[in-house]
Structure 1
Amino acid sequence: MKISVCIPCYNNPVGALRAVTSVAEQLFDDFECIITDDSTDNGVEQAIAPFLKDERFKYIRNTPALGTPANWNKAIRESSGALIKILHHDDWLSTPESLAIFHTFAVSNPDYGFFASARNHYDARTNALELMVTDGRLIGAMNKDRFFSFAENFIGVPSVTLFRRDFFQYYDERLKFLVDVEQYMAVLANTKLFYIKDPLVNVTIHGPTQVTRQCEYNIDVQLREGLMLAEKLWGKNIPISAMMKLTYILSHLIFSCFSQFTTSLRSRYLFAAVFAVQFIRLSLSCGMKKIFGCKK
């Protein structure tokens, strides 16, 4: 089965070159690499030009730029492999055997349509930070109830994933921050997740061009997307459990923002607790619609 490695890019020639190089160095050679570029200049194209002599590599410049996640979807639509592997421009495959290992697990587990691996976290200067391995009990909980992922992304960024094309769901282009969580739950509606404990991907966290960083403390974006996702999953009748999870999202955001202004742990936890209790009371008495004034 051919693997389609899809690399959406934006104004990061150094990262794009590293990502493409990691694909070119793979010992597994039955792949294609689709690079779609939203950049404002030709830096990415120039950086990866040597690889384009290999017919397995295809470069597409988006004019006009599509934005995220439409650029991700563009790369996938241009691909043809039975297995889809997205790789963001600031992430890279951790070993020359990464694709081979993904492929082996996919072939050996035909009942699974969704695969994800552990990952190594790096900062923007490529300093190693930590190894991230998701607990098997969390993977089991997600396979039992896909809504378990609603309030917390236990899988990681899209770069750690691999999908069978038959089960892949395109990213919802209305979303920015929760786009990966929504897609994971959409896929899990029809198949199961197989988790690989080997760190097959290196992931840059808090990179300067990451959309997630721009949305990290944007309460409006996160609340709007949280409610949009809840409505997409449950319609107009959002259950109490989902309200609680939305409360978790909001209290976590407020807590994070408040933490920047005080070093007192007691003050932080007291604030978070009081806020959570008051928000739950409002949720139960008024309903989510009235609180946010959200219309279907």
Structure 2
Amino acid sequence: MKKILMHAVRQNIVIGVESDDYPNDLKTKQKLFKNTLINTVSVPQFSVCIPAYNDIECFTRCIASVLRQKDVSLECVVCDDSNSDSIFNYINKINDSRVRYYRNKPPNGAPKNWNSALHLSQGDVVTLLHQDDWYRSESTLKDVLGCMQRNDADVCFCGQAIANESGEVLGEYPVSVGKVLRMYTGFPRRTLVVNLLGAPSVVFFQRRHLDVEYDVKLLYFSDTDYYYRLLSSSSAVTVLAEPNVGISRSVAQISKFCLSHLDSVLEELFYALKKHQASSIDSCAAVARFVASNLRHWRVASLLSALKLIWKHFSLQATLLTFFIFPIFAGHMCYRLFLRKVCGRIWA
């Protein structure tokens, strides 16, 4: 990551796109898309990729926020893992040529479905928008485009607003250059476990970064692992501070699974630490931080499994170091919970 910038500008451009059906094989799909690009008069400025799964109520809000974007050309790629036809029927009902729909049979699962959706894109700037998230303003994409163009950036992070299931905003959280820097420099000791930048829906990047994929072996840490690798491959990063992306605070199915299988998530953490060749001290800090930050979700059985995993992957010295620094992170977590409960800070 060579430089980090922050600014926002506006620009008005409108170009049309076309829609199509695509085969199941990913390589065939990519080849077909390349051929389509040759025959397409205009390449859209944005590809908004929605990995869908069953929740039609959230999906309708999500795709509506995409299709109401003004002064930019876009395509909306829907990669559907649903076991019902509700999303398929809804897309047929709205009948918008900017929407490209693809049904996965059998379902890909996350995060493989995220990668499939991204690789189906044709736009100059690509973004992943989870179906329970949405764009709060009709000029969100226009603002992102202007920000990237003015700063000659190939990656942009946008601020976010946390909302409950009914869409009521609980708190707004602008992104900053400092957070991006801490995300990069604090990896993996801190920022593999602690996500400073938000959900994948706040990330926009030029299509040359499509070779940076979400690791299909990761689920809980797929976003932070991806952010670090994306920042590493970027030549210039900018931020759009305004919280223009709405993020649902409801516990999604992935989060529910992770919180009920924390010992499996810990195994995933060890994989990520080994993948990034983390030092012994960084590994101990990351594991201690993860166990402490999820302390209220641990159950006796999973906690015992976690202790066995720590003993399995760490030396005696590293295990003792992990237990030594654990109370520090546990105390910090209690302080954050106090800020949330007493002071009302949603993302303390």
Name the CA distance, whole Å, in 2 between partners of 1:134 and 1:2: 23
- Unpaired runs of at least 5, structure 1: 262-275, 292-296
Counterparts in 2 of 1:113 and 1:239: CA distance versus 1, 3 Å:
farther
User: Cα deviation per residue 1:39-94 (whole Å; 9 max; x = unaligned)?
Assistant: 1110111223233x332211111111111111111111111112111101111111
Q: Aligned pair 1:57/2:124, yes or no?
A: no
Structure 2 CA distance for partners of 1:229 and 1:193, relative to 1, 3 Å: farther
Matches within 5 A, 1:136-285: 136-144=177-185, 146-147=187-188, 149-168=191-210, 169-191=212-234, 192-207=236-251, 209-234=252-277, 238-253=279-294, 255-257=295-297, 285=316
1:135/1:29 CA distance change after superposition, 3 Å? closer
Matches within 5 A, 1:3-152: 3-51=46-94, 53-110=95-152, 112-144=153-185, 146-147=187-188, 149-152=191-194
| CA distance in structure 2 between the aligned counterparts of 1:151 and 1:145, rounded to whole angstroms | 10
TM-score after normalising by structure 2: 0.70
Q: Deviations over 1:125-182 (max 9, x none)?
A: 2222111224542223334455452221001010111011212411111111111111
Q: Unpaired segments of 5 or more residues in structure 2?
A: 1-43, 301-306, 323-348
After superposition, give the CA deviation of every residue in 1:216-252 in whole Å (9 maximum; x if it has no partner): 3532122111111101100xx6331232122111122
Q: Once superposed, what is the RMSD of the aligned Cα atoms?
A: 2.7
SS in 1 for 2:276: helix
Identity score, percent: 23
- 1:285 alignment partner AA: L
Cα–Cα, structure 1 residues 135 and 242, in superposed 2: closer, same or farther, change >3 Å?
farther
TM-score when normalising by structure 1:
0.81
Residue identity opposite 1:183 in structure 2? Y
Secondary structure in 1 matching 2:245 = strand
SS across alignment from 2:233: coil
Counterpart amino acid of residue 121 in structure 1: I
- What displacement does 1:211 show? 0.6
After TM superposition, the runs of 4+ consecutive aligned structure 1 residues lying more than 4 A away are: 143-146
Shift of 1:96: 0.3
Q: In structure 2, how many angstroms separate the alpha carbons of the residues matched to 1:30 and 1:135? A: 27
